[in-house]
Structure 1
Amino acid sequence: MALTRRHVLAGALAAPAVLRFGGSAAAATTLKISHQFPGGSLDEGDFRDRLCRKFAAEVEKRTGGALKAEVYPGSSLMKTNAQFAALRKGALDMSLYPISYAGGEVPECNIGLMPGLVSSYRQGMAWKTAPIGREFGDFLASKGVMILTWLWQAGGVASREKPLVAPEDARGMKVRGGSREMDLVLQAAGAAVLSLPSNELYAAMQTGACDAGITSSTSLISFRLEELAKHLTTGRGKAYWYMLEPLLVSKAVFDKLPKDQQDTLLAVGAEMEAFGVAAAMADDVTVAKVYENAGARIHDLDDATVEKWRAIARVTAWKDYGDKTPHCAKFIKLAGDVQA
């Protein structure tokens, strides 16, 4: 029988593991990194995509090409909400992923977007070496997922018609909060809530299904919400909304790699954190300029307003989370021990 192109393609699709990991010691391993954000380059575009590309380039360099990574932006490899489960099963190698998106599957993950719990980048990054970071990292590993790069982002609010600054502004508005816990706070403030990933926020606001969206400064820029918003509440300086959005690797995939390649992933992942913090903080400032140039009114938070949001969170989101599971109760306590 003649070997046709169709037969070759069919054979390739039937044996992805052979293509990825190779049949000989000399074959390179290629990891796939998925995320939901717009694609760019090493030097331009959404910094989360750039972080993944920088990570991939450095890993390939340090391993002499034995370990490579390909970046798939814009949920082009798989849908956003499917990525965490795929990591757990080893069906996806890596993802830069808002950890709270996994809260429906693993409730403990909602600690990663707990309103009012983290109030600065310094406090968030301190989790990594504090008991909360070690305990949460071990817990994720038990679920089949490992954190390579700790990344926190402050959030702001883009709104179509009226500003959303203080809790009293939320009454009667339809708002995307970004996590179950943020939704509980918004509902307590009188808002209706929508649950959807940030890459679907533009369409929801464009159709009027959503009056305001809370998301990271970088997403407020990358998803072009300034085209729809008349008001922006920034996260520069002060914020009640900080999201843990780490670079993750499937433990099943990680465990199959040789020790030297595992060490490279861990080392490069840790080194990406300085870039991530600096880029996130820069976007907190840049987003205000982008929206101001588009004609939106800019609003900043003060201590009193942040405390209003935190006061609601303590009796709604924090309590709800702490009552979910023994792990949740432990995590909320340990996180509270990390000083601002």
Structure 2
Amino acid sequence: MSVITRRTVLAALAASPLLLQPAWAQNTTLKISHQFPGGTVAEGDFRDRLTRMFAAEVEKRSKGSLKFEIYPGSSLMKTNAQFSAMRKGALDMSLVPLSYAGGEVPEVNIGLMPGLVTSYEQAYGWKNAEVGKELSRILNEKGIVLISWIWQAGGVASRTKPVIDPDDAKGMKIRGGSREMDLILKAAGAAVVSLPSNEIYAAMQTGAMEAALTSSTSLISFRLEEVSKALTTGRAGAYWFMFEPLMMSKAVFVRLSKDQQATIMAVGAEMEAFALSSAKADDQAVADVYAKAKAKVVDLNPAALKKWQAIARTTAWKDYGERNENCAKLLKLAEKTL
């Protein structure tokens, strides 16, 4: 009876290189989940379109070794479960507002810090600035790989009056979108309501909420003009800038071949130009949509922006910077970009 030695096994493996390759380095199908309405590559919410464009281009460049399934409208899992699922390797990819994970990873609330980002130029400059590199490092440490940097300005849809100055928010039930946004709203005298953007319509329809801050694209895609009488746009400046990147589970990413990883990162970076132009287009389009629905449309003015920013410095920024060392460092690095 022959004895199988370690040397024999290693020799056999060396003769069969395919056995040394993980299955993920060959052919695989990745699932991309998001909360936004579904469409096509050519039409619909640009965030859904971006995931489809990304998927098609990666499949093409990887010669079919990577394929994708897109799950819009939180059809694969609940909105707030996506970040945690990626960290555990239970979800491959997601395009989700980063601040939604603030309860799990406090540092990510920098992605919706009122008044800290006030222009697209500043926002997209984060990627190669110290703050962006540090945020990427922290996310990587938490099991998340940033694939595409996507930023959106936002505005306020209201069932009653326009919300421009902090005084306008007093006594209103408003959705901010993050712990930090909620802090400045509370300081302005508002009662805050916490829920994902895909649940805003129902809350405003029933009167459980009177106003909501969200991105221009969500203001359109979720048809909030149907339940609003006023809109404050972000086209002339905003204190509400949301970072909602396309992300991937690190546990999934590391199992891909080096070529597959490089393809994903390259295509992800190329999608950013589309995201920027689409977000800017929606900042204008939202005003047209609401005007057509007979809502009162106003822009945020520089004086009002400074008032909100002043409140943010003493409430949201202070609170965030005191949460842990990472938060303090990120805030300091972000302030360098102002």
TM class by shorter chain equals over 0.9
In structure 2, what residue type is equivalent to 1:228?
V
2:155–2:215 Cα contact (<8 Å) kept: yes
- What's the Cα RMSD here? 1.2
Deviation at 1:163, TM superposition (A): 1.4
- The C-alpha deviation readout for 1:184-207, integer Å capped at 9, x for no partner, is 000000000011000000000001
Paired position in structure 2 for 1:17: none
- The C-alpha deviation readout for 1:36-67, integer Å capped at 9, x for no partner, is 00000000000000000000000000011011
Distance 1:200 1:216 in 2: 14
Could you say if the C-alpha distance between residues 26 and 199 of structure 1 is closer, same or farther in structure 2, counting changes exceeding 3 Å?
closer
In structure 1, what residue type is equivalent to 2:27?
A
Paired position in structure 1 for 2:179: 180
The gaps in structure 1 that reach 5 residues or longer are 1-21
Q: Does 1:248 align with 2:234?
A: no
Misfit runs of 4+, over 2 Å = 22-28
Q: TM-score, normalised by structure 1?
A: 0.92
Paired position in structure 2 for 1:266: 265
Deviation at 1:254, TM superposition (A): 0.1
Could you say if the C-alpha distance between residues 33 and 26 of structure 1 is closer, same or farther in structure 2, counting changes exceeding 3 Å?
closer
Distance 1:42 1:103 in 2: 31
Q: Secondary structure at the match of 1:118?
A: coil
Distance 1:196 1:109 in 2: 17
Paired position in structure 1 for 2:294: 295
Q: Does 1:234 align with 2:233?
A: yes
Q: TM-score, normalised by structure 2?
A: 0.93
Select the structure of larger CA radius of gyration.
Answer: 2
Q: Secondary structure at the match of 1:44?
A: coil
Q: Does 1:171 align with 2:170?
A: yes
Could you say if the C-alpha distance between residues 252 and 112 of structure 1 is closer, same or farther in structure 2, counting changes exceeding 3 Å?
same
Distance 1:320 1:301 in 2: 25
Deviation at 1:25, TM superposition (A): 8.2
Paired position in structure 1 for 2:103: 104
Number of matched residues? 318
Distance 1:179 1:115 in 2: 9
Paired position in structure 1 for 2:329: 330
Could you say if the C-alpha distance between residues 23 and 99 of structure 1 is closer, same or farther in structure 2, counting changes exceeding 3 Å?
closer
- The C-alpha deviation readout for 1:257-308, integer Å capped at 9, x for no partner, is 0000000000000000000000000000000000000000001011111000
Distance 1:26 1:324 in 2: 40
- The C-alpha deviation readout for 1:194-245, integer Å capped at 9, x for no partner, is 1100000000000100000100000000000000100000000211100000
Paired position in structure 1 for 2:204: 205
Distance 1:181 1:116 in 2: 10
Distance 2:162 2:153 in 1: 18
Distance 2:233 2:90 in 1: 37
Paired position in structure 1 for 2:143: 144
Distance 1:232 1:136 in 2: 32
Paired position in structure 2 for 1:90: 89
In structure 1, what residue type is equivalent to 2:58?
V
Paired position in structure 1 for 2:316: 317
Deviation at 1:69, TM superposition (A): 1.2
